[in-house]
Amino acid sequence: MVNIPNVVWIDEAGMIVRPAEPGWPPGDDYPDWLRGFLDDRDAEVEKKAAAVEADDPELAARLRGGQDRDSYPDAIRDWARNGADSAFVLTPEQVIEASTERGIDKSQGAAHFELANHFWGNGDRTSAITHFNEAHRLQPDNWTYKRQAWSLVGNEEAGGGEMGRFNQGPLPGAEAEWPFAGTFMSEAAATPAADYYPATMSPETTSPKAT
């Protein structure tokens, strides 16, 4: 899991039939109170997104690139209807091929990330930041590790609140106190679109059963 949202498909036998990949399930069936809350929150996020697009259209394009968000819910429905015969189900060999290797750096990075969250939850900010930075160094392509750290510290700087966690960098004038090498904006701007969100699935590209 290297970014949000990532989804894994596991069948009734406990077998992975799609490894981690970007996926956006719909919110059509949310209760009214939750739908209203999310709509209000999304409106605030859209304001920020519009500001980003106005300031840096190329960055906005990178964050949207490689995605076909509307197709993912339909793929899940196809799997629910057709099970193992779904065009979107991968063979065990394809699942392994599509999964990333987990070498020693990734394993140690995962350990540092867990330690960082443990220390943060126990109020040891200094140790948490040390372990977050080690996780970032060992697995620099893991956006989950980075965004967790950036959001926790950014939320502090923003003073909390519902939108505070979306602050993933230093506030103006506080750059010297920022404890990480990068920020969301700086690293997203330097990342090709297909690397930030790899292209989502399609029957034509992900399963031989579709041909």
Residue 172 lies in a domain: yes
pLDDT at 206: 47
Question: How sure is the predictor about 78, in pLDDT bands with cuts at 50, 70 and 90?
Answer: very high
Distance CA 179, CA 198 (A): 28
DSSP string, 43-102: HHHHHHHHHHHHH-HHHHHHHHTT--TTHHHHHHHHHHHHGGG-TTPPPHHHHHHHSPP-
138 occurs within a structural domain: yes
Q: Same domain for 89 and 48?
A: yes
Same domain (yes/no): 96, 12: yes
d(CA 177, CA 200): 37
Residues 122 and 171 both lie in one domain: yes
**pLDDT score recorded for residue 210:** 39
What is the domain count for the chain? 2
Please, what's the b/e burial string for 112-138 (b: 16 or more CB within 10 A of its CB; e: otherwise)? bbebbbebbeeeeeeebbbbbbbbbeb
Is 109 found in the same domain as 34? no
The confidence score (pLDDT) of residue 81 equals 95
User: Tens of pLDDT along 155-202?
Assistant: 998 898 877 888 999 999 999 999 999 999 899 888 887 778 877 675
- The pTM assigned to this predicted structure is 0.75
199 backbone dihedrals φ, ψ, rounded to 5°? -55, 130
Residue 199 identity? A
**H-type alpha helices, the chain:** 32-55, 57-64, 71-82, 92-98, 104-121, 125-138, 143-158, 184-189, 193-196, 203-206
CA angle 56, 59, 65 (to 5 degrees): 140
149 plus 75 within the same structural domain: no
Same domain, 111 and 133: yes
Q: Which domain holds residue 130?
A: 104-180
pLDDT confidence of residue 208 = 42
Looking at residue 68, its pLDDT comes to 64
Per-residue pLDDT at 27: 60
More confident call, 149 vs 35: 149
111 lies in some domain: yes
